[in-house]
Amino acid sequence: DTGVSQNPRHKITKRGQNVTFRCDPISEHNRLYWYRQTLGQGPEFLTYFQNEAQLEKSRLLSDRFSAERPKGSFSTLEIQRTEQGDSAMYLCASSLRGTGTGIGTQYFGPGTRLLVL
Amino acid sequence: GQNIDQPTEMTATEGAIVQINCTYQTSGFNGLFWYQQHAGEAPTFLSYNVLDGLEEKGRFSSFLSRSKGYSYLLLKELQMKDSASYLCAVKAGYQKVTFGTGTKLQVIP
């Protein structure tokens, strides 16, 4: 499978616990993005990486959220001290840096659905 | 900031044509995407427009007018499997992509 993969697909946790999600992008893609999506809304940008560098971070991302991409391949998103408001689908996408039609198009993984009780 | 507007819901008949509109306001416009998202699934890429005009891809076409801040997605020969949310997304600058809230399309027999 050469698409974007995310693990786990579903996570149920209790308020106050920490959770970590993993994203494996398409292998030749050097850009990786994290989004959060709640019911009836479009994906909201959280952060993005070019290779291992985190180049932009949304103001939506509180101090409880941290993302890493240590070797420029897979990425992790950690949420500390989860709150019920963190319940959402967390989507990862990847794209290829460059020029030309369609370059920069983001391809999404299946998402991790988080439920905080 | 960016502002993207699209209708919340639409209903259309199987076999018909439907047009989903999207208007946007942004600075540094650098392209517009359409994605399809079935319930509980991730968005899948449909089209990308960066220049004015119509891009056709099978049953799906997308149009862009940069001067009007306007795009539409045209779906022909509607099938039941086309029932999904359709997301308009605008790219500003080099990376930042902002999504609209999506248009939920219901195809009825």
Which chain B residue has the Cα nearest residue A50? B95
Burial label, A99 (beta-carbon count in 10 A; 0-12, 13-18, 19+)? exposed
The predicted pLDDT at position A59 comes to 83
Who has greater pLDDT, B105 or A56? Answer: B105
Measured in whole angstroms, the distance separating CA A69 from the mean position of its chain's CA atoms is: 11
Instruction: Supply angle C-alpha A54, A44, A89, rounded to 5.
Output: 100
Q: Which residue has the tokens 């019911």?
A: A39
Tokens representing A41 are: 């809304």
Q: Enumerate residues 6+ apart whose C-beta is below 8 A from B28.
A: B92, B93
pLDDT tens for B1-35 read 678 999 999 999 999 999 999 999 988 888 999 99
Q: Which of A67, A72, A73, A18 is nearest to A58 (CA)?
A: A67
Mark yes or no for CB contact A42/B89 under 8 Å. yes
Mean pLDDT of B49-70: 95
Shortest Cα distance from A92 to chain B (angstroms)? Answer: 9
Q: What is the pLDDT of residue B106?
A: 97
The one-digit pLDDT tens for each residue of chain A (117 residues) are 569 999 999 999 999 999 999 999 998 888 999 999 999 899 999 998 999 999 888 887 889 999 999 988 999 999 999 999 999 999 999 988 765 555 578 899 999 999 999
